[in-house]
Amino acid sequence: MRNEGIGSWPARRARKTPDRPALIHEERSFTYAVLHDRVTRLAHALRDLGVRRGDRVAYLGPNHPTFLETLFATGRLGAIFVPLNIRLSGPEIAFQLADSGAAVLVHGESHTALVDEIKPDVRASVVLTGPASGAHDYEALVGTARAEPIDEPVGLGDPCMIMYTSGTTGRPKGAVLTHGNLTWNAVNVLVDTDLVADEVALVAAPLFHTAGLNMLTLPVLLKGGSCVIVGGFDPDATLDLVERHRVTFMFGVPAMFQQVARSPRWAAADLSSLRVLTCGGSPVPPTLIAAYQERGLTFLQGYGMTEASPGTLFLDAAHAVSKAGSAGVPHFFSDVRVAGGDLTEVEPGATGEVIVRGPHVMPGYWGLPEETARAFTDGWFRSGDAARLDADGYAYIVDRIKDMIISGGENVYPAEVENALLAVPGVRECAVIGVPDETWGEVGRAVVVADPSASLTEDDVLTALAGRLAKYKIPKSVVFTGALPRNAAGKLLKARVREAFGT
């Protein structure tokens, strides 16, 4: 094959294990042979719509096998895939379509009204099911397209995907991930997670998010396992699917795993098939680690970023308890430093910025050469995250550098305070932000979601923190709310917390 990229994976896997199930969705199961056939036909259909090498093909819809078919078919042609966040507003979707210059938009029926409203300037629209004005029917295109092989030459250095950063502050940026970036990231996962050929992965995290796609789904498909794809996350349904499909591998952010552990079915659910639980997006609270250890399950924590495809640091099972709270050490094919302003490594225990380089790190942002130049120094990508190393070289992510609170000249990292808050009985979720203070310049404020059965007061929370944290780290105020704003991947949106509670 002349195609060395992601688009060739279904064909390569089909010639090795054609009859093994690749994708399971609702009551349907697709073997690798069927997946290869459908991807080939869709690639012909996209070519008939005018898609050529370098063109962008966008996808808007919840998790579904067609997401992966579109990704692979786009890669088969040497075109560039653009996954879109389904929780974005119409203007935000319109911006990303225009910014990427998408030629074709594939979208779910759930987003037909939004697409009709924004009227994107694309060459063609393809809808999965249901009527849509001026759109092609996805299944009709696949069903009538040719099945002859397509072997467009695609190299590992060619762009595969434009994945937009979450855009929690300012203008979202499109990280350009090459076929090589995604391949090396998948290899890192295979090496460090010890995936097996009969892996069964539950894909409940959104596929448009870098972790759900690149840390779970693509590595499993590369290895030849099966992916159980669900349209959205539900804690009770998660337990049902684990039992029904004998799921072995799950990924989620801490908020997802917390919801599962709070399910009334948690204590009695059959979790004996689970072998690998990976967690990322934010530090895993010690209380959550303990809850899963009581069921004989251990988290494999990690740290990453969209720009690194995303795997950067990884904590294996052997150190899950002894190094609890750590993001681990660099993935096999990744180099990471915790560095000062001059890029030299700081001493163990000191706080610095996480910088990373390796074959999984993007070449740059789409159409933003100045932003790209600012993000890299001497080949190292600057994450903007603060961390410290222990004496054994294990990294502990402290917080976003921009989220750090400077109170009376002391640095306060909200993540550390949030972990202490989560250990307070009755605190379900929390976020710590900085607010102006005449005396100290800035002080912490805890925004807390309490358990419905708890009757917590501000004094209860602050008293519980006394002795657990240095006095200057303890927030000066507590406000209660019913829910915290999160993006579709479950990550806390600190900017929105500041907007709502920062004055």
Give CA–CA dist 180/188, Å, rounded: 12
The continuous run of DSSP H or E covering 422 comes out as: helix 414-422
pLDDT of res. 374:
93
Q: Which of 168, 175, 111, 196 is nearest to 486 (CA)?
A: 168
45-54, 231-240, 242-251, 397-406: least confident range: 397-406
Model confidence over 412-471: pLDDT tens digits? 878 889 988 999 999 999 999 999 887 787 899 999 999 988 889 999 999 999 888 878
pLDDT of res. 78:
98
Q: Which of 46, 48, 105 is nearest to 79 (CA)?
A: 46
Task: Tell me the β-bridge partners of 47.
Answer: none
Model confidence over 396-412: pLDDT tens digits? 988 777 787 878 767 78
Evaluate if residue 291 carries a pLDDT over 50.
yes
Evaluate if residue 260 carries a pLDDT over 90.
yes
pLDDT of res. 170:
53
Q: First CA to last CA across the chain, in angstroms?
A: 60
Q: Can you give the residue ranges of every domain in the chain?
A: 6-19+31-155, 404-501
Q: Which residues contact 78 (CB under 8 A, 6 or more apart)?
A: 3, 5, 7, 52, 53, 54, 152, 153, 154, 158
Q: How much is the average pLDDT of 222-239?
A: 96
pLDDT of res. 306:
93
Q: How much is the average pLDDT of 304-321?
A: 92
Evaluate if residue 89 carries a pLDDT over 90.
no
Evaluate if residue 167 carries a pLDDT over 50.
no
Q: Please give the mean pLDDT across all residues of the chain.
A: 92
Task: Tell me the β-bridge partners of 302.
Answer: 314
pLDDT of res. 91:
86
CATH topology of domain 404-501: GMP Synthetase; Chain A, domain 3 (3.30.300)
Give CA–CA dist 29/22, Å, rounded: 7
The verdict on pTM exceeding 0.75 is: yes
Evaluate if residue 192 carries a pLDDT over 90.
yes
pLDDT band (50, 70, 90) for residue 108? very high
| % of the chain with per-residue pLDDT over 70 | 97
Give CA–CA dist 84/269, Å, rounded: 34
pLDDT of res. 131:
66
Q: Which two tokens stand for residue 288?
A: 């959550």
Q: How much is the average pLDDT of 361-365?
A: 98
Domain covering 6-19+31-155: architecture: 3-Layer(aba) Sandwich (3.40)
Collapsing DSSP states into helix, strand and coil, what is residue 334? coil
Q: Write out the E strands in 350-491.
A: 351-357, 364-365, 376-377, 380-389, 395-400, 405-407, 410-412, 427-437, 441-450, 477-480
Evaluate if residue 169 carries a pLDDT over 50.
no
Give CA–CA dist 427/436, Å, rounded: 25
Evaluate if residue 82 carries a pLDDT over 90.
yes
Give CA–CA dist 379/343, Å, rounded: 11
Residue-by-residue DSSP string for 56-114:
EEEEESSS-HHHHHHHHHHHHTT-EEEEE-TTS-HHHHHHHHHHHTEEEEEE-GGGHHH
DSSP strand pairing (200-203 vs 174-178): unpaired
pLDDT band (50, 70, 90) for residue 166? low
Give CA–CA dist 478/421, Å, rounded: 11
Q: Which residues contact 186 (CB under 8 A, 6 or more apart)?
A: 214, 218, 219, 222
pLDDT band (50, 70, 90) for residue 350? very high
Model confidence over 314-338: pLDDT tens digits? 999 889 888 988 999 999 999 999 9
pLDDT of res. 413:
78
Q: Where are the alpha helices (DSSP H) in 159-253?
A: 179-193, 210, 218-223, 235-245
Omega before 452 within 30 of 0, i.e. cis = no
Q: Which of 158, 497, 489 is nearest to 310 (CA)?
A: 489
Q: At what angle do helices 9-16 and 32-48 cross, to 10 degrees?
A: 150
C-beta separation of 35 from 185 below 8 A: no
pLDDT band (50, 70, 90) for residue 134? confident
C-beta separation of 178 from 362 below 8 A: yes
Evaluate if residue 310 carries a pLDDT over 70.
yes
The continuous run of DSSP H or E covering 211 comes out as: none
pLDDT of res. 281:
73
